[in-house]
Chains A and B, each alone.
Chain A
Amino acid sequence: MTTEKQLNMQDSQVKPIDETRPTAPVIHVSPSPHLAQSTTSTRRMMVDVLVALVPVVAMSLFVFRGYALFQLAVCLGGSLAAELLFVKMRGRPSTLKDFSAIVTGIILAMSLPGTAPWYVGLIAAFVAVGIGKIIFGGLGMNLFNPAMVGRAFVMISFAGALAASGFEDVRSAVDAVSQATPMNAYKMNGVVAPLAHLFWGTTNGSLGETSALACLLGGLYLIVRRTVSWEIPAGLLLAVLVIGGVADLAGPADGWTVLHHILGGSLLFGAFFIATDPVTSPLTPRGKFIFGLGVGMLIMLLRLFSGYPEGVMFAVLLMNAVTPLINRWAIPVPFGEQ
């Protein structure tokens, strides 16, 4: 009987499983489960983020033209080079194919002003990927959002380039860049930008943050694809709504409303693309919601009471630091103990 022969062949003829055209069964064993969902992979998640970034990048190219292209090139190149270099220094196999360096590079570029000099973007990219991620042990091991680590570093080291004035270039032919950022115009001079400008994104600011619409589109895609969990943006927006609403009622009626808080600055970009980084946010739905609330509260605290016009970056970094604690608090109650 052929089958019996085939069955007996397995002992003597074990060959690698990836033979192109099998002629006889080769039986391998492995622990259960023996099925895996073929549609999910870490790389697929990264590709989802890249797809979601398309409207944001497109809008930044439309508004900031050459500035955006330049900053993207610098940050992407820097991220990829840093990934290669640092992974090599750790003596590990290349991790470029997980696409996470590309995601970090683009998010970093989108969080910088287009006017920042080349060395600022490059150093930010090296710090983001090298110090922010690889040194911690690579993808999945870092405590802090890599892009934000890089941005925070250059914000402090090159204060001028990332201060309010760093965003402006009055001689520029690109409209947006010749104005002050709406956040700063308000903080310094009480000038309130029209909501429509904030919504469409025709204002000055970091490259990816200006268009609320683009951030919403990308964010919704990520949520629908379940690449990010809705709990983080929901908690974040809820906190901003509540605190901004209270500030509206309690503060001076100067025209800057909770809606300006939501549509202005990097709030939506942060809510959908930065705070949602799975590696540096909690694991459970409840933990994610708490994390979102915390980020939203810190953003409002910084915006309302600190000297900075914006607070997304520091808020995310601070909440990243307490993520292990939140994970500890938010251990779900198992089925059977509810």
Chain B
Amino acid sequence: MGLKLEGYAGSGTFAHGIHPSDHKALSKDAAIRVMPTPDTVVLSLHQNIGGPCEPLVKSRQAVVWGELIGKGSSFVSSTLHASVPGIVQRPMRVTLANGRHMDTLPIKTQGEVPSDRELWDEIFGGDWPTTGLEAYEPALISRDINDGGLVGLGGAAFPTHVKITPSDKKPIHTLIVNGCECEPYLTSDYRLMLEAPAPIITGALLAGRSVGAKRIVIGVEDNKMPAIEVLRKATDGTGIRIAVVKTKYPQGSEKHLIQAVIKRQVPLGGLPSDVGVAMSNVGTMAAVARAVIHKKPLTHRIISVTGGGIAEPSNVLAPIGVSFGELVDFCGGLRPDAARMVAGGPMMGFAFANPNTPVTKGTSGLTVMTRDEVKAGEETACVRCGKCVDVCPMKLVPTKIAMASRHRDISLSRRYNIMACFECGSCAYTCPARIPLVQLIRAGKALVAAAGRS
């Protein structure tokens, strides 16, 4: 198959990768439900890649919904807002799902919050203009994005204003909006595209205008045809194109979606801007529209709560800082055979055990796996079958890197380009010997980084 999109050189796919069964049927038809406002939220001062933010409020201080409570400490950092109205509690240190211990600002809810349909309308409802956007200055769009505390909602949580900003140094010709959602199980982006295409499109037009992109394209995997139809209708007359790409993991990886759409390779250690591309997730685009048009910050996001271990797999609009345990309760609780809670999808998500762990801006889902699914296979010796080589989307030799890491051989792992690995998990998924390749490589990367510092 080809991309069949005039002006776009990509073939609609990339070399290597894997085809895990997607399990999206669990929640893909579940319309987004609005979660009732929780009694407390716990907001991490570090929601993003880059620097943490500094608190601007003291404990016992009253805040309103959407009030600025934290300010970025550096350029690659983002602002933080109260996701509920209430009273700021004493700061506390919390372990996030990704295992990092972070200072947080808890807020005890007090005061009126729109609920259910009202909240939905407040965030995604109303008219989203597709014309007359010339009134918004490119630099001011970026400022509004920063003021709104936007980070990439696809999972990586990179501060959006760093990407979506006018730049003379690295001119951007194409804005690619990422609607691939290649992680198995997750359906939050899919539901958003189906239920709220308008803010995505307005946000894309604004972001495209800010970076000076001549072309805007939304990349969606071909297992999401209903969303593609909705987007095609909604983008009619806006100049935005839909790139239907092959369903394959990790198609949603920035570098691989660029390869699939415009057939350019982002250099190792480089950024999409090096090949003239800016990329952002569909959910982020909807948040951009809200931040720029309504000057409203990011306080809520859509989270897929799914997996065989969840009673009622759902897509939930929830405030940032809500605990995973409350999300589980809202979705009918855990099934008796639940065995692992994963923040994000099963390929790159983080397993955690404490139900009080708070949701952050980058939390795209909660996948609860059953004990049959996570039964640990017995590790056997590597027979050098090369299946990991055949699937690695970065064209690395995972087993060599993993073994070099296991033997703490930094120079060997460097020779095999260990730092190019982005831990997608395709190798470990495929390995017949059940070697924890990603875990070993991750440890090896830490060794390399430590060696680089000294």
Contact = CB atoms under 8 A, between A and B. Distances in A.
Interface stretch (A24-32, A83-91, A206-214, A235-243): A24-32
Nearest to B336: A22
B314 to A, nearest CB: 14
Contacts of A337: 265, 267-268
Interface string A35-70: 111001110110000000000000000000000000
Given A25-B335, A34-B346, A283 B377 contact: no
Contact of B350 (A32, A327, A333): A32
A284 interface: yes
B133 interface: no
A175 B376 CA distance: 53
A278 B417 CA distance: 23
Interface stretch (A4-12, A144-152, A166-174, A261-269): A4-12
Interface residues of A, number: 55
A279 B386 CA distance: 10
Contact of A45 (B269, B347, B376, B383): B383
Interface stretch (A115-123, A133-141, A305-313): A133-141
Interface stretch (B45-53, B62-70, B138-146, B392-400): B392-400
Given A6-B333, A6-B334, A334 B267 contact: no
Interface in B383-433: 383-387, 389-390, 393-397, 399-400, 415-417, 420, 423, 425, 428-433
B117 interface: no
Contact of B371 (A2, A17, A334): A17
Interface of B: 14-15, 18, 20, 184, 255-256, 259, 265-270, 309, 325, 328-329, 332-342, 346-353, 355, 367, 369, 371, 373-377, 380-387, 389-390, 393-397, 399-400, 415-417, 420, 423, 425, 428-434, 436, 438-439, 442
Given A25-B335, A35-B373, A333 B416 contact: no
B429 A37 contact: yes
Given A35-B347, A36-B434, A25 B336 contact: yes
A284 B397 contact: yes
Given A31-B436, A34-B367, A35-B20, A26 B381 contact: no
Contacts of B346: 32-35
Contact of B395 (A17, A29, A227, A332): A332
B340 A29 contact: yes
Contact of B339 (A17, A31, A45): A17
A227 to B, nearest CB: 8
A7 B351 contact: no
A139 B384 CA distance: 10
A335 B420 contact: yes
Contacts of B389: 283-285, 332
Nearest to B270: A336
